[in-house]
Chain A
């Protein structure tokens, strides 16, 4: 692979003698000339890179030797590519953020091709509603050829990836650890499936463990890759809120999906909305903000936008039996317990339980917490 610049940057960073931020600083002061930047660093004798002497057996003579050999071994073969900031395929939109990563590791080529990305992020500990919303929005975005970017975490993230994967736009997962490390382990299937119609991307050198401090750093790439960030179900101090704030700082659009006012998991989203984020009900709400793109996109995807679900549901409601609609009518958007249902509509508990299962199968209601139900639509 003719990618010596990328390798050089890798050695520099792996040696830990140069921090990415310092690299970008010098890179920018050289007006984006990568050759010059590299020369600048090589001027230091201490940083004499071994690969200059020995093309066959590259490595680094100073710094942490183990770290660097591991890094080299991991990128060789195994389908891991290097994308340095000097390359044309490095996303322009990411170049523009305050501190872009000088080097990206990736699996799957989507990162080079994706023109229009939207981030879909949210809580790991989300409710059924959050998952539903993540799937709904990601699927429809991807269907229109928009790439959905998220953080490969459990909860909202994995739902977003999963839903977007099957459609045109594909998905990009940004990691908070080295590309050779599968974290969280539950999402192994995403690591395997995403490269088929998307990319797994990270700025962290192979072998980097998923440290707590990595994730806020990673979040700037998620928002940086995207023209807008959609936040679904975030607690008051969650990482998704940080991503939203990053997006604002990077001058990108921030969207938030509203939730139940009684649910603590919606606090963060509501806070964002109060502070100016756009409320999202359907995909059109997102597209409206990007007129240049949406014109084209709308044309190409006639009829497959998320049609108003509400209309369809009144149809479903007509198909309910008397008992079912009684329970459905009684349930509101505030969760109600089985006790309340039994007591207030004076129905036998057996009957109530049966109806609750049926309505749940019909996807009209959901269980919010133990034995407490509310309407989904």
Chain B
């Protein structure tokens, strides 16, 4: 007797169809799983047997062979418990149903028959939708995250008996269809607000521009100047994720956390410590998992004390920053993880930290300061459009009680700016000003002599490289968008200069 059922395996963040085939024959009672099962899959034999018995069904005392096809891909994880159990019940005639075709099953079983959450559910739901499935049987506790995928019906069951009930035919299945409440996760739960930052007008303005045009930014300043405080609040001025983005982000997070019961709505903010391993930052492992850069997808990656990060880790960021995804090859397979993040980097300006600080003397030699910068410069710095100096506040600023602008106001402006960019780049494969190519910038330059002259003056005065000028132009495009100006005006460029050049710029380069 033979029966087969649809389920999945996970390849990176994507789900791949797997058929769970069961064959029961006479012979010595036996229960074998084939098709490159991992440890957790092999152990599912025990869970399945107990769950079936404890749910009041009979476990057939026959020779049972389970094959997970395609049989040449290694399978791991505990989510084959439910499909295996259902197949056994079906093949032994204990469940009969007309909906097996077009149904997909996933779930880990407890010994008592209840269904536990699994990783990667949302990727699987997406796969069900794209391969034209109708029903998707999932653990009840995490059903919400899958329920936003259009075109499929989520059947949320708490235990094996409920699954059997849902399959028993008629309108029974309708009872278990999960209906989401329409709210996507929690709203911004972060209580960090730009209101709390006193002074630092320039840095705040710079972060607003950076968030609007998705420009990578470096905050440089002496200890205690508020770099970390500013960066941590940057995510509070970014608009919430759109549904499509929510799904993408949740896909990545659900690989790590089983208990995501709803979509992630707030933009991620990742702040890895500088001792993070290469695998932890970029992603990897025997079964590759996304690293911090992917966990920051659609959000912020904040590298505090950038100078402390090992040079090879910094270099590793090059390709992901360029391609917005990272491809990891392990076990003859390539795994692609998206990592479209905005990079915020905070660093002291030198070893002692006080270079450029007005009130305290820097004890580094100029050579040391240069050495400090050499470590960071190069390809990574080229990909950072904005370089903003953050000074320590004079004591008087702390005493002043007036409120600064809150994050809510700023977020509205950022949102508007993002919409403008979205409209502009509708037909292109980019979505932010920071991704504009050089050909477009050349066109801007061609179109206006005034701008050309201004650029010439600026680059001469500040000894800027061509790359520096391109960055300034990109940032001025964002400033123009923030002011809802169709063309870049001189004033926009002049402001953008402030976010590129800083104190003693010429002695550092």
- State the A residues within 8 Å of B (CB): 124-125, 127-128, 154-155, 184, 264, 335, 337-340, 342-343, 349-350, 352-354, 356-358, 360-361, 367-372
Contact = CB atoms under 8 A, between A and B. Distances in A.
A80 to B, nearest CB: 27
Interface string B364-402: 011100000000000000000000011101100100100
A122 B507 CA distance: 15
14 contacts: A154-B366, A184-B367, A335-B358, A337-B391, A337-B394, A338-B201, A339-B199, A353-B498, A354-B491, A354-B495, A360-B461, A369-B356, A370-B358, A371-B391
A367 B393 contact: no
Contact of B201 (A184, A342, A357, A360): A342
Nearest to A350: B495
A370 to B, nearest CB: 4
A153 B504 CA distance: 17
Complex A-B, nearest 5 residue pairs according to Cβ-Cβ distance, in ascending order: A369-B358, A349-B201, A370-B391, A370-B389, A339-B199
A357 B495 contact: yes
Q: Which of A358, A360, A369, A372 has the most CB of B within 10 A?
A: A369
B498 A357 contact: yes
A370 B357 contact: yes
B256 interface: no
Contacts of B2: none
B202 A371 contact: yes
B456 to A, nearest CB: 11
Contacts of A357: 494-495, 497-498
Contacts of A335: 358
A339 B498 contact: no
A124 B458 CA distance: 26
A171 to B, nearest CB: 20
Contacts of B200: 339
B461 A367 contact: no
A338 B206 CA distance: 13
B503 A369 contact: yes
A337 B356 CA distance: 13
B366 A125 contact: yes
B62 interface: no
B457 A340 contact: no
A111 B503 CA distance: 37
A370 B397 contact: no
A352 B498 CA distance: 10
Contacts of A356: 498
Contacts of B397: 339
B463 interface: no
Interface in B191-234: 199-202, 204-205, 220-222, 225
B494 A354 contact: yes
Given A350-B495, A369-B356, A370-B221, A124 B366 contact: yes
A128 B508 CA distance: 13
Nearest to A343: B400
B358 A372 contact: yes
Given A340-B394, A354-B494, A155 B503 contact: no
Nearest to B394: A337
Contact of A339 (B365, B394, B457, B461): B394
Contacts of B389: 370-371
A353 B202 contact: yes
Contacts, number: 83
B504 A358 contact: no
A352 B204 CA distance: 14
A372 B222 CA distance: 14
Given A367-B503, A370-B221, A349 B356 contact: no
A364 to B, nearest CB: 12
Contacts of A352: 201
Interface in B454-509: 457-458, 461, 491, 494-495, 497-498, 502-504, 507
Contacts of B220: 370
A350 B494 CA distance: 10
Contacts of B366: 124-125, 154-155
Contact of B391 (A353, A360, A369): A369
B361 interface: yes
A260 B34 CA distance: 82
Given A125-B365, A353-B498, A354-B495, 20 more contacts: A124-B365, A124-B366, A155-B366, A264-B361, A340-B394, A349-B204, A350-B495, A352-B201, A353-B202, A353-B495, A367-B502, A367-B503, A368-B503, A369-B357, A369-B503, A370-B222, A370-B357, A371-B202, A371-B391, A371-B503
A361 B391 contact: no
A363 to B, nearest CB: 8
Nearest to B205: A349
Contacts of B356: 369-370
Contacts of B390: 370-371
A352 B497 CA distance: 13
B498 A361 contact: no
Q: Which of B200, B393, B494 has the most CB of A within 10 A?
A: B494
A335 B359 CA distance: 11
Contacts of A125: 362, 365-366
Nearest to A352: B201
B329 to A, nearest CB: 41
A264 to B, nearest CB: 6
Contacts of A339: 199-201, 393-394, 397
Contacts of A350: 205, 495
Interface string B420-461: 000000000000000000000000000000000000011001
Contacts of B491: 354
A209 to B, nearest CB: 15
Nearest to B499: A353
A124 B199 CA distance: 33
A357 B503 CA distance: 12
B120 to A, nearest CB: 46
Contact of B503 (A349, A353, A358, A370): A370
A339 B205 CA distance: 12
Contacts of B495: 350, 353-354, 357
A358 B199 contact: no
Nearest to B200: A339
Contacts of B503: 367-371
Contacts of A368: 358, 503
Q: Which of B222, B361, B457, B497 has the most CB of A within 10 A?
A: B497
Q: Which of B349, B400, B507 has the most CB of A within 10 A?
A: B507
Contacts of A349: 201-202, 204-205
B233 to A, nearest CB: 17
B481 to A, nearest CB: 14
A370 B502 contact: yes
A346 B491 CA distance: 19
A124 B394 CA distance: 28
Nearest to A124: B366
A124 B367 CA distance: 10
Contact of B494 (A154, A358, A371, A372): A358
Interface in B153-206: 199-202, 204-205
A339 B397 CA distance: 8
B341 to A, nearest CB: 27
B394 A361 contact: no
B332 to A, nearest CB: 48
A343 B394 CA distance: 12
A349 B206 CA distance: 11
Q: Which of A127, A350, A356, A360 has the most CB of B within 10 A?
A: A350
Nearest to B402: A343
A154 B368 CA distance: 13
Nearest to B199: A339
A130 to B, nearest CB: 11
B202 A338 contact: yes
